[in-house]
Amino acid sequence: MALRYDLGEVITAMVTPFDKEKSVDYTSLEKISKHLINQSTDAIVVAGTTGESPTLTHEEEHEILYCVKSTVSGQCKVIMGAGSNSTDTAVASSKKAQELGADAILSVVPYYNKPSQQGLKEHFGAIAKSVDLPIILYNIPGRSVIDMAPETIAFLAKEYPNIVAVKQSNPNLDLISEIRMLAPDDFAIYSGDDSLTLPMLALGAYGVVSVASHVVGKEIKSMIHNFKSGQVIPASNMHKILYPLFKKIFMAPNPTPIKALLSKMGLMENFVRRPLVELDEQARLELLECLNEVLSKTENK
């Protein structure tokens, strides 16, 4: 069965580059956007966690969306991080994303105020009724404390046709099986963790919302395509090659490591906004060494 809305298999949760004054660096933003297209990204998430959304103003989020949309010029979809732990704010942000031409929105489980499952149904229901855009639910209990239950995800998928997918950032793989059994077949499941992409594919996931795809997007796309075409051993071999990098880019709070790598590649300066802090030079060199080792192995595949 076809998906109710296909956002692609490799969605990159994009960084927000800053200059030395910690202002958004729009020149580097354009450069990274073009780089991601060359890395086989199907869609880009702007103003998500990897984009340091907690430190962005709404005005910056809107400018970032406009810049990336203009740069990619239809070559890939652009998804706006429009979630909030206030339902009214999430609705307003979703409406603004639609007004500004986002292709879809990513909406996170409300954090800090710890709503019930009924509260989650009402929160996401209000968002879904406020816009026509496709919505990806974002379940990440490590950051939001609350875990959205498979039954809640399935309810939302059945009740609201524009809730089209979930980004599942929970390492409990049994939950993937439960979502797949309860939700409609045309509802997409995305891994929210690079290292769990392959096992989640085996349980019915469609793709990944990735951080590593900033630097190994083509390789991740190859792994997914091999698995879906029945080439399980090549897919497994690629997973094993990429796995050390998948873990290394979370050696410090995201997006600090991936920004350090992108700076070493000359795509941006190595700045994050506080309270995050930049990696030191030794850690940056270790990351670059890991990436180069991974890429040298993929060249032989």
Q: DSSP character for 7? A: -
Length of the chain: 301
Is 138 catalytic? The answer is: yes
Calculate ∠ Cα 232-236-238, nearest 5°. 120
Active-site pick, 5, 138, 190, 206: 138
3-state secondary structure of 106: strand
- In terms of DSSP bridges, do strands 10-13 and 104-108 run parallel, antiparallel, or are they unpaired? unpaired
Displacement of CA 236 from its chain's centroid (Å): 22
Active-site pick, 121, 167, 248, 259: 167
Q: Could you give the CA distance from residue 29 to residue 18 in angstroms, rounded to a whole number? A: 9
CB 154 within 8 A of CB 120: no
Give the Cβ contact number of residue 266 at 10 Å.
Answer: 9
Catalytic residues: 138, 167
